Amino acid sequence: MRFFITGGAGYIGSHVVLMLLDAGHEVVVLDNLSTGHRQAVPPEARFILGDLSNTALVDDILSDGPWDGIMHFAARSLVAESMREPFMYLRQNVEPALSLIELAVRHKVPAFVFSSTAALFSNIDNSIISENSPVAPCSPYGESKLMVERALYWADRVHGLRSACLRYFNAAGADPKGRAGEDHQPETHLIPLAIQTVLGKRPSLDLFGNDYPTPDGSCIRDYVHVTDLARAHLAAVGAIGQRSVTYNIGNGKGYSNLQVVQSIERVSGRRMNWRWAPRRAGDPAVLVASSALLQRETGWKSAFHDLDTIVETALAWAEKYPDGYASVSLKKDAASA
Ligand SMILES: NC(=O)c1ccc[n+]([C@@H]2O[C@H](COP(=O)([O-])OP(=O)(O)OC[C@H]3O[C@@H](n4cnc5c(N)ncnc54)[C@H](O)[C@@H]3O)[C@@H](O)[C@H]2O)c1
Ligand SMILES: O=c1ccn([C@@H]2O[C@H](COP(=O)(O)OP(=O)(O)O[C@H]3O[C@H](CO)[C@H](O)[C@H](O)[C@H]3O)[C@@H](O)[C@H]2O)c(=O)[nH]1
């Protein structure tokens, strides 16, 4: 099969690219490298440096069909940043996505897979979140993803574009073979920051908020291994067929921010300095997924069930590449692309 991947040089996109290539598929990646890394895209994939908002470029790429699907990862994706820059988030996450959806319709692409998010939910009653739970984003980031989900709904109703909206809960971990990992500059995610702290690359870690309605007062998140997440993309393409689908993707188990610190200390065998800090704007207290629908309809099951096994892979990658992708050399044939 042949896929067009936006944001394939990013954390989740690069793991999906690896999985598609491993399965023998053909992949074309468009990425502006704003938060991604050229080294994250293997030479077996075609890499195009460019911005999604360049509609002429995207039109040109899609003209070179036929395609079996588009996977759209490229976005701004930081909850806290979106609370400071709401219009930038709404504009940059929604406008290029609308153009891409229109082009997918025009070029008759049979499947559109969209990176949606748990940030669609406020979850005020701290329940397990299913696809039928009420959506109520706590941040402009979550709102921007909801807008794109709605655009995809209308693209299906009016034009028959079939899509999969995959609502990832918290992606974590690294490729078990060590070929890709998480490297954001600057890093804002809890697990990589805590790993950098335990490895002595940061003096200490702030945990945002100890007054949430949870057992230890810190937020609870559902961490799903990035390779399990990648597998869900292949499963979703298989499920699309004659209809559009929406799936929540997590492990169904929540870990508090404090438990994340404890897991990293346990797995690494080292202690880290951390302290409580004020709440971070835009954070719901508890986000835990029910992925029962995805499991029932596609047979998907996570291979990494508990946080320690997820953390092990993230720690292994961080130890192998202490400066992230800056420590990874660009393969010779990729450098010329
Ligand atoms: N990381 C998570 O836990 C998580 C959870 C839920 C949803 N998501 C969503 O999954 C997707 C991937 O997240 P990630 O963590 O891999 O992020 P990331 O920042 O690592 O990857 C995004 C990639 O898109 C590229 N990009 C951004 N804007 C672009 C543009 N205008 N044109 C071309 N390329 C562009 C970046 O350079 C980067 O390579 C995002 O849409 C994000 O909102 C992530
Ligand atoms: O230094 C830090 C960083 C984070 N946190 C806390 O750790 C938890 C997880 O935060 P992350 O920044 O690691 O992840 P988010 O839950 O904010 O967001 C991630 O998962 C979401 C879905 O749940 C989104 O889609 C988003 O793109 C993705 O970055 C939050 O309570 C946050 O406040 C800290 O306490 N200290």
Average pLDDT, stretch 50-62? 98
Mutual orientation of helices 140-159 and 86-106 as an angle, nearest 10°? Answer: 20
pLDDT of 251 higher than 50: yes
DSSP state of 306: S
254 three-state secondary structure: coil
- Residue of 30, 77, 79, 120 to mutate, ligand 1, most atoms within 8 A of C-beta: 77
Q: Which ligand neighbours the alpha carbon of 10 most closely? A: 1
Amino acid 337: pLDDT:
42
ipTM above 0.90, yes or no: yes
CB of 292 closer than 8 Å to CB of 251: no
Say if ligand 2 is within 6 A of residue 144 CB: no
Amino acid 336: pLDDT:
39
Say if ligand 1 is within 6 A of residue 13 CB: yes
299: left (phi over 0), alpha (psi -120 to 50) or beta: left
The residue ranges of every structural domain in the chain are 2-320
Dihedral sign for Cα atoms in the order 273, 325, 115, 171: negative
Atom in ligand 2 nearest the alpha carbon of residue 279 = 33
131-187 per-position pLDDT tens digit: 999 999 999 999 999 999 999 999 999 999 999 999 999 999 999 999 999 999 999
Nearest CA to ligand 2 atom 14: 189
Structure tokens at 136: 């109520």
288-307 per-position pLDDT tens digit: 999 999 999 999 999 999 99
pLDDT of 334 higher than 60: no
Atom in ligand 1 nearest the alpha carbon of residue 170 = 3
DSSP state of 225: E
DSSP state of 221: E
Percent of the chain with pLDDT over 70: 98
Q: Which of 25, 75, 59, 63 is nearest to 45 (CA)?
A: 25
Residue 141 designated active-site: yes
Q: Is the pTM of this model over 0.95?
A: yes
Percent of the chain with pLDDT over 90: 95
215 three-state secondary structure: coil
Confidence of residue 331 (pLDDT cuts 50, 70, 90): low
- Residue from 11, 141, 212, 223 carrying the catalytic annotation: 141
State in Å: Cα 96 to ligand 1 middle.
13
Amino acid, res. 53: S
Q: Which of 225, 324, 212, 302 is nearest to 258 (CA)?
A: 212
- Residue of 12, 73, 122, 170 to mutate, ligand 2, most atoms within 8 A of C-beta: 170
| CATH numeric code, 2-320 | 3.40.50.720
- Residue of 35, 113, 166, 222 to mutate, ligand 1, most atoms within 8 A of C-beta: 35
Amino acid, res. 162: R
Q: Which ligand neighbours the alpha carbon of 224 most closely? A: 1
